[in-house]
Amino acid sequence: MEYSVVEFTDGVNLVPTIWLSADHKKCHWPLIENKMIYSKMVSSQVMPRPNDPSWGIYPIKKVLCKTNTYQEGIYKLKIAEKYSEVESSASDADPKAKRAKRQLRAKKNLFDNLSDSDSNSITSNQKYDDIENTNLLKTQSTFEDQTQHNVHEDITASAQFPQFPDDHIVETMNFATNFATKDQTEINKQKSSEKIFTAKEVYKMLSKINSEMIQVREEIAEVKEHVMQQNASSNVCLNGTELVGSSTLTAFDTDLPYLTDGQFKAAENKLNEPAYLTLLVNDLKRLGGTDYEDVVTNALAYIISNQLACQYSWKEKGAKSSFSNDFKLFNKAILILVRFTKADLTNKMYGEIVAKWLVQAPQRFKREEAKKEKARRILQLNEDVGDQN
C-alpha cells in the first residue's frame, strides 16, 4: 500500500497512489464533504470507479513524496502544508522573503531526502537521520547564495541554510506522531462501533432465520386449516340430520368400532361426502370427555378397535401402516370435534396424543382378551352348574 503527498492548485493533500493517473498529472478525488469518511477512504485505499458521478478528476502540480504507510504520509503532509504556507506568503521583492525562500528550498531538499528513506514509520532512528541530513545541507550552497555573499555580507550570514535544532525536530516529529495517532484512534473507534461478521457467523444467522421462517409457515398453515375447519363446521348443522342421496341418516355407522383394515378404509372413503363427515362429528360429539386428551382417546376408541389399532402407528414404522397418512378424514373429524374444547390445539399436539394411544393398543388388547376369557370361563362355569342341577 503506497500513499502520495500531492500538491494541487489549491493546496496539498495525502492520497493513495492508485488514485493518480499513469502520468501523475491528474488525480481521482471523491466528491464528499465528510472528512472522517474521506480519511477512511484514503487509509483503506478505496479503488476509484471510472464514470462514477461521485468521483472527479483534478489536475495536480507535483507529487511531493511517497510513503509506505498512512501514518508516515500524515506526517509528511503536515510538513508539506507548513512549507506551502511559507511559500505562498513570501514576496520576491523583499530580501527577507528571499531568505525565507532559500530556507524553504533547503527544507524541501531535506524533505525529499526524508521521502527517499526506507523507514516504515516514525521511529527512534528518525532523529538521527534528520540530524545527518541537516549536517549535509550545511555544506551545500546555491549559485544565488554565492552571488549575494559577494555583494552583501549581512545577507550572506543570514543566507546560510537554517540550522534545525534537534529539539525543534523532535518536537515537530512528536506533534506529527500525536496527530497521526489521534486520527488513527478516531478511525479505530468508528471501526469498533461497526460490528463485522464473518462468513460463518452470517451463515449461522441465515440458517436460524430460515428455520424460524419454516416454523412460522407451519404455524400459519395450521391456523389456516383451523379457520377453514371452523368455517366448515359453522356452515354445517351438527345437531340435525343430513340428506345423502335419497335417504335420511341419523348415524354415521352402526358397525363400530371397526375390526378390519378393509372396513376402516371403506369408511374413510365415505367421509369424502360432507354429510357423512357431519354425521361422524355429531356421533363423536355425544361421547364427551373430561379434557381435550380424553375427547381424542374416546373418539379413537369409538371408531377403531384395539385389535385393529395394533396394526398402525402415527408415522409409518416397520410393518405398521401410517395412521396420519391413511386416515386423514377421520383425523380431520376428530380435530373438528376437539377444537370445540381446545381451540388452540395444534396438529403436533394432536399427533402426540394419537401416537401414544396407538403405542398402548397392544396392552389394551391383551387386557381386553383377558377379560373376555374370564367372562367366558364364568359363563361356562354357570352352565355346568345349571346342568348338574
For every residue of 33-101, DSSP letters joined together read --HHHHHHHHHTTPPP-TT-TTEEEEEEEEEEEEESSHHHHHHHHHHHHHHHHHHHH--TTSHHHHHHH
Note the pTM of the prediction, 2 decimals.
0.37
- For residue 123, pLDDT beyond 70: no
CB-CB neighbours of 195 under 10 Å: 6
Same domain, 188 and 325: no
DSSP class of 255: S
The answer to whether residue 44 sits within a structural domain is yes
Largest CA distance in the chain: 166
Q: Which of 307, 295, 310, 281 is nearest to 368 (CA)?
A: 307
Cα gap 24→59, rounded to integer Å: 9
Q: How many residues does the chain have?
A: 389
The pLDDT assigned to 91 comes to: 45
Residue-range definition of the domain harbouring residue 93: 3-193
The answer to whether residue 213 sits within a structural domain is no
The answer to whether residue 359 sits within a structural domain is yes
Q: How confident is the model at residue 136 (pLDDT cuts 50, 70, 90)?
A: very low
Least confident of 26-35, 150-159, 259-268: 150-159
Q: Of 178, 193, 208, which residue sits at a domain end? A: 193
Cα gap 364→358, rounded to integer Å: 10
Same domain, 9 and 75: yes
Same domain, 121 and 246: no
Same domain, 174 and 256: no
The pLDDT assigned to 209 comes to: 92
Most confident range (mean pLDDT) of 80-94, 184-198, 296-310 is 296-310
Cα gap 278→337, rounded to integer Å: 10
- For residue 120, pLDDT beyond 50: no
Q: How confident is the model at residue 182 (pLDDT cuts 50, 70, 90)?
A: low
The pLDDT assigned to 243 comes to: 38
CA distances from 238 to 251, 299, 309 (A): 12, 16, 28
Least confident of 54-68, 159-173, 280-294: 159-173
Same domain, 32 and 169: yes
Beta-strand pair 312-313/247-249: unpaired
The pLDDT tens digits of the residues spanning 335-367 come to 988 888 888 888 889 989 999 999 998 999 899
Same domain, 81 and 163: yes
Instruction: Determine the 3-state secondary structure of 184 from DSSP.
Output: helix
**Nearest-10 crossing angle of helices 292-303, 274-285:** 120
The pLDDT assigned to 300 comes to: 92
The answer to whether residue 384 sits within a structural domain is no
Percentage of the chain modeled with pLDDT above 90: 5
Indicate the number of domains in the chain: 2
The answer to whether residue 124 sits within a structural domain is yes
The answer to whether residue 23 sits within a structural domain is yes
The pLDDT assigned to 54 comes to: 83
Cα gap 295→266, rounded to integer Å: 24
Cα gap 3→26, rounded to integer Å: 15
Q: How confident is the model at residue 4 (pLDDT cuts 50, 70, 90)?
A: very high
Same domain, 256 and 180: no
Average pLDDT over all residues of the chain: 74
Instruction: Determine the 3-state secondary structure of 259 from DSSP.
Output: coil
The answer to whether residue 184 sits within a structural domain is yes
The pLDDT tens digits of the residues spanning 210-242 come to 888 988 888 888 787 777 766 665 555 444 444
Q: Which of 330, 321, 325 is nearest to 301 (CA)?
A: 330
Cα gap 221→347, rounded to integer Å: 10
Same domain, 39 and 153: yes
The pLDDT tens digits of the residues spanning 300-340 come to 999 898 888 898 888 877 788 888 888 888 889 899 888 88
